[in-house]
Structure 1
Amino acid sequence: MNSRKFPFINTLLVIVFIFLTGCKDSPKENKETAKDQKDKYAYGEMEWQQGMEIFNEKCASCHNFEMNEIGPNLSGITSEVDKDWLKAFIHNPQKVIESGDERAVAKFETFKLYMPPFPEIQGDELENLLGFIHRFSEAEKKNKNARPGGLINPIPEKLASSNLNLVLEEWLTIPASADKAPLARINTFLPLKTDTGERLFISDLRGELYEIVDDTVQVYLDLSKEPDFFHSPGWGNGLGSFAFHPEFEKNGLLYTTHTVPGETATADFAIPEGIEAKLQWVITEWKTENPSAKKYNGTKREVVRMDMYNRAHGLQEIVFNPFAKKGEPDYGLLYLGIGDGTAALAGHPELTDSFSHIWSSILRIDPLGTNGRNGNYGIPEDNPFVGDSEKLDEIWARGFRNPHRFAWNEKNPSQMLVSNIGQHSVEEVNLIKKGADYGWPNREGSFLYDVDANTELVYPLPEDDSKYTNPVIQYDHDEGNAVCGGYFYNGDNIPLLKGKYIFGDIPQGTFFYSEASDIVDGQQSKVLRMGVELNGKTTTLKEITKNTRVEVRMGQDSQGELYIFTKSDGKVYKVIGCNESN
């Protein structure tokens, strides 16, 4: 029921949290520590999303976590009252009032109105609602500058569903790299175009780089045997990415990224003195003796090493522009997508808000050059800040929390997209412009972000916002949790996908598309949901994987056809069609 159409409902909804806030002398006052509360309340992005959806449906028209407006400020509520008391009151407020509870009676005497009971909110839904309230109310207590106007639901319009379903065919399963869940951590899929066709490769974060041969896989290179190789489940590190030089068949050069513990060796890009680096990302060049061999054998050299503040949001992807031709400026140049290493919210936003640091940036280097800071790579002369003493020559663009995947449109080479995983409000895809600033940690999507305010919220933009470049695609966290960068469909087998940029949401396992013709700088492209079919049945990846957290990734071969894989169970699917549903 829409509370805006029925004003009395707003009043009733106000009462629910009026009883829950503002009175600290209740005998059920909660004295638990922050750790006790974290352990007691539902924790996790998926749980908070469901809680937020319930909150937006039933409470958000009256309440926020900042100030008393139509309803009371919810900041700190879970520190003021016991969780069991909250549950009891939500289920039957009249019963709690008539029991003589101090808090409930005091508020009832003020407002003279019973809140309607919500007994239908039970089980996980109730736990997740309270987990969301706890997370956001605790974050508001840390709002050092008391910034008002936080947006719990920054994009209230829901994404429309298209009538298109991706038709999947299960193809193969990557071998388990552990004896307990997650059994595999497959992360990157890449084709290698050859004179006789193509070869397909897929990697596991635990260190194995596989080649797919005759619908099976075999290890091509195992980085887990590298000295000090380090990975930790859930943090996006280990063997992060790999890229074949466009002349691999001639020069045999392959590039990889992997993690090692902090201070393993001197970093070319070091965290400033006084700040601990938890780990390092290393780019390695591997030169194979025989480019056509099915197993790597050759030499290696280190290209560049960089410190990272923490284990997450590191060096997500390295990639060559797959459509650049010899003689063109982009040919043979390597792009690096570097996240903030969580430093922005850990007291060091200055590391991630500067053209003089690499973090939160996209770098562009020549791996065969020698004029970089360590002599092991080069700096392209057409990089935007070459010669600027206050900015790094390596930077192509900056302002990203976690730049996850790159995509170029073969039909329109000026369309270079980078997906950027958001904090807690907005997922985004950016149309990359040379030298542009995309805003993090001062922007999340097309909204203001403030590391000194409630870090679970975004805020309306100021009137003058010309400094930053907004994304061309975005959705908020009642649609998903972490954007999975996708691809422009360039294949010939599925006409319904022509002209579309197809992408997904990592934990939810859902898919979306935008028309390539709608992706224009300075405006938001329309986003439509897509369905999934497998074995003739409309389904979802959650149903297929039997996992509430899907961990989906996407790949594309050299013919432009698409692949879907689910990281935690090692399953790889071909996209073999697209059906129009009724």
Structure 2
Amino acid sequence: MKKSIFLLLLVSLAFFSCSQNSELGSSISTDSEQIMAGKSLFEANCSTCHSFDQHGIGPNLSGLTHTVETEWVRNFIKNPSEVISSGDPRAVTLLERYKAIMPAFESFTEEELDAVLSYLHTFETLPDTIQMVGLENPIPDSIPDSGIRLELEYFAQLPASDSKAPLAKMTKMEAEPNSGRLFINDQRVGLYELIEGKPNLYLPATELLPDLVSNPGWATGMASFTFHPDFATNGLFYTAHTDAGNSKPADYSYPDSIRHFMQWVLTEWKAVDPSATLFAGSSREMLRIDIPSQAHGMQEITFNPHAKKGDEDYGLLYIGFGDGGLTEQRAANFSDSRGALVYSSILRIDPMGTDSPNGKYGIPSSNPFADVDGKAGEVYAYGFRNPNRVFWDPRGNMFATDIGQHSVEELNKIEPGQFYGWPIREGRFIINPYGNFRDVFDLQPNDENLGITYPEIQIDHDEIAAIFAGYEMPYGKLKGKFIFGDILSGRLLYSDLKDLGNMKVQSWKVIFEGKEMTLLELVQNDRVDLKFGKDAANNIYIMSKTNGKIYKIIN
């Protein structure tokens, strides 16, 4: 991952920009009410990726409006893809640097854009350069192309829940374990059942969850769902969704000095008739957690598919919960609680129990911190920035993908009670969560004494921007191989989960309607937002939020 010594949005592109002078930004209002309105808009829409003291997912914006033409900033906020497509050198270099295209804010009114610019203009300091002290190229090896091409066929289309991409915010497709009925979510809408490839709205979440919000960001809304292994008899299933901050008192939170932007809510639903095609029944809230941003929340809820009745793990619910943006909000001590809080953890709870702190679920006695003073008994493993997918291979090993901050994407083999490094490690590299955590550093000789469990796979941002796990393929040219990919670009990769300790990664592509192509070409957009699904017959699917379509892998 090559790093320039020039990091700032402006300075990294200085030869494209005007030199700093008093004229730039002279048309921006300094009205105090407009500045405060812009601050609210920035915190709600921009602060997960941008700050004014360091670089993160996106560039440090301090001094931006004092050094870049106001109209350029305005146009880029409204439609980054259009500016990049025009060949604008500054925009193209930003894409090369950050490996992702910022979402468009076309819905901003001119007044809202003016307010954001007024707020940005209050940050005047722009250092000339920032000399890098971290590793210039942490993972120099490139991922080779295997030459393998798998054929896709069109399977289904979800109804558009917006007029622009992402057309359908689907994140998960799985079969109910008893009947084999196939379900898929749209974060904005609720839960669909796919009946002969046609979507039937089973759970209208926007009607049943009146405080649900799915803006801003691609990770909000009803992000995950899972069915209890006894759903056929007890009618129970579970969803994770976002409410606005301060909607209700939270079960887990942090001081009021850190903003309470959103809440993640775990809900249990009980269907009167488990075979019905439209949900009717009751619900109860089980867990509510505050977070300071729209990112890294409750992205995964799931049951162990290998557990059988009588097994210790049967009916226990796993929850992947990230740091909620606490580290980016300069509150890394809460995401680095070492199991004292639920943040940055994979949790395991008993939905049928009542001995949790809020009395709404149980703490399994076999959880590693179940009876440990000062620890959250729900925590099964900890030290994750965003454990967005938790899964088991056919041999019963548990894994989780973890999306990195700026440098490294991870696949981890999960063991109870283990610490997986965040926010003091990203992959097998040191980061400083209280400094510029854009930089990574080599491990030190005494690192093995810190008790950190490191990933089976680590991939830097030269290759992918955000990892998402698929499945171990049960058929086709990649039978027995674990497929996964990059959420943003849709780059497709595979490895072998049986090669623990020595897993190699290669890439693959697809053939659709007789033509070899990338997923970017397939969806005809500059972002794929890749997800994978599986039906009861073990067919594997590729999904794209961008176009709302589902494709079956047929060989």
Class of the TM-score when normalised by the shorter of the 2 chains: 0.7 to 0.9
- 1:59 alignment partner in structure 2: none
- 2:504 alignment partner in structure 1: 526
- 1:220 alignment partner in structure 2: 202
Q: Distance in 2 between matches of 1:139 and 1:358?
A: 37
Q: Is 1:517 aligned with 2:498?
A: yes
Q: Distance in 2 between matches of 1:377 and 1:178?
A: 36
TM superposition shift of 1:163: 2.3
- 1:416 alignment partner in structure 2: 398
Q: Is the 8 A contact 1:142 1:454 kept in 2?
A: no
Extract unaligned runs of 5+ from structure 1: 1-12, 37-43, 49-64, 66-74, 85-121, 578-582
Secondary structure in 2 matching 1:177? coil
Q: Is 1:161 aligned with 2:145?
A: yes
TM superposition shift of 1:126: 5.7
- 1:178 alignment partner in structure 2: 162
- 2:262 alignment partner in structure 1: 279
- 2:388 alignment partner in structure 1: 404
- 1:561 alignment partner in structure 2: 539
Q: Is the 8 A contact 2:24 2:67 kept in 1?
A: no
- 2:324 alignment partner in structure 1: 341
- In structure 1, give the amino acid aligned to 2:456: V
TM superposition shift of 1:132: 6.3
Q: Distance in 2 between matches of 1:83 and 1:142?
A: 14
Counterparts of 1:487-498 in structure 2 under 5 Å?
A: 487-489=471-473, 491=474, 493-494=475-476, 496-498=477-479
Q: Distance in 2 between matches of 1:318 and 1:211?
A: 18
Q: Distance in 1 between matches of 2:420 and 2:24?
A: 34
Q: Distance in 2 between matches of 1:139 and 1:544?
A: 43
Q: Is the 8 A contact 2:402 2:412 kept in 1?
A: yes
- 1:270 alignment partner in structure 2: 253
- 2:524 alignment partner in structure 1: 546
Rate the CA distance shift 1:125–1:426 in 2: closer, same or farther, 3 A: farther
Counterparts of 1:302-317 in structure 2 under 5 Å?
A: 302-317=285-300
- 1:229 alignment partner in structure 2: 212
- 1:439 alignment partner in structure 2: 421
Q: Distance in 1 between matches of 2:95 and 2:507?
A: 28
- 1:452 alignment partner in structure 2: 434
- In structure 2, give the amino acid aligned to 1:123: G
Determine which of 572, 575, 578 is the counterpart of 2:550: 572
- 1:116 alignment partner in structure 2: none
Counterparts of 1:41-440 in structure 2 under 5 Å?
A: 123-124=87-88, 127-129=91-93, 149-194=133-178, 197-225=179-207, 226-354=209-337, 355-410=339-394, 412-413=395-396, 415-440=397-422
Q: Distance in 2 between matches of 1:310 and 1:209?
A: 24
Q: Distance in 2 between matches of 1:456 and 1:571?
A: 35
Q: Distance in 2 between matches of 1:133 and 1:438?
A: 27
Deviates more, 1:157-166 or 1:27-36: 27-36
TM superposition shift of 1:83: 7.4
Secondary structure in 2 matching 1:187? coil
Q: TM-score, normalised by structure 1?
A: 0.75
Secondary structure in 1 matching 2:520? helix
- 2:75 alignment partner in structure 1: none
Q: Distance in 1 between matches of 2:219 and 2:226?
A: 17
Q: Is the 8 A contact 1:281 1:308 kept in 2?
A: yes
Q: Distance in 1 between matches of 2:462 and 2:307?
A: 38
Q: Distance in 1 between matches of 2:540 and 2:232?
A: 24
Q: Is 1:499 aligned with 2:483?
A: no
TM superposition shift of 1:302: 1.2
Rate the CA distance shift 1:128–1:186 in 2: closer, same or farther, 3 A: same
Q: Is the 8 A contact 2:292 2:329 kept in 1?
A: no
Q: Is the 8 A contact 1:168 1:574 kept in 2?
A: yes
- Map Cα deviations across residues 68-96 of structure 1 (whole Å, 9 max, x no partner): xxxxxxx99998x9779xxxxxxxxxxxx
Q: Distance in 2 between matches of 1:185 and 1:524?
A: 35
- Map Cα deviations across residues 238-261 of structure 1 (whole Å, 9 max, x no partner): 101101000000100010111111
Q: Distance in 1 between matches of 2:244 and 2:166?
A: 22
Secondary structure in 1 matching 2:206? helix
TM superposition shift of 1:147: 10
Identity among equivalent pairs (%):
42
Instruction: State the number of aligned residues.
Output: 477
Q: Is the 8 A contact 2:135 2:441 kept in 1?
A: yes
Secondary structure in 2 matching 1:542? helix
Q: Distance in 1 between matches of 2:62 and 2:243?
A: 42
Extract unaligned runs of 5+ from structure 2: 27-45, 70-85, 100-123
Q: Distance in 2 between matches of 1:142 and 1:153?
A: 23
Q: Is the 8 A contact 2:160 2:548 kept in 1?
A: yes
Secondary structure in 2 matching 1:343? coil
Secondary structure in 2 matching 1:455? coil
- In structure 1, give the amino acid aligned to 2:492: F
Q: Distance in 2 between matches of 1:538 and 1:140?
A: 46
- 1:104 alignment partner in structure 2: none
- In structure 1, give the amino acid aligned to 2:429: F
TM superposition shift of 1:526: 0.6
Q: Is the 8 A contact 1:153 1:476 kept in 2?
A: no
Q: Distance in 1 between matches of 2:522 and 2:226?
A: 30
TM superposition shift of 1:273: 4.1
Question: Which structure 1 residue ranges, 4+ long, deviate > 4 Å from structure 2?
Answer: 31-36, 75-79, 81-84, 130-135, 138-143
TM superposition shift of 1:569: 1.2
- In structure 2, give the amino acid aligned to 1:464: N
Please say which structure displays the higher CA radius of gyration: 1
Counterparts of 1:3-18 in structure 2 under 5 Å?
A: none
Q: TM-score, normalised by structure 2?
A: 0.79
- Map Cα deviations across residues 472-496 of structure 1 (whole Å, 9 max, x no partner): 011111111111122122x3x42x3
- In structure 2, give the amino acid aligned to 1:421: I
Rate the CA distance shift 1:274–1:77 in 2: closer, same or farther, 3 A: closer
TM superposition shift of 1:568: 1.9
- Map Cα deviations across residues 275-326 of structure 1 (whole Å, 9 max, x no partner): 3211111111111111111111011111111111211111111000111111
- Map Cα deviations across residues 409-464 of structure 1 (whole Å, 9 max, x no partner): 12x11x21100111111111111111111111111111111123333222211222
Q: Is the 8 A contact 2:245 2:260 kept in 1?
A: yes
TM superposition shift of 1:534: 0.8
- In structure 2, give the amino acid aligned to 1:200: L
TM superposition shift of 1:181: 3.3
Secondary structure in 2 matching 1:270? coil
Q: Is the 8 A contact 1:139 1:454 kept in 2?
A: no
TM superposition shift of 1:561: 2.3
Secondary structure in 1 matching 2:233? helix
TM superposition shift of 1:151: 2.3
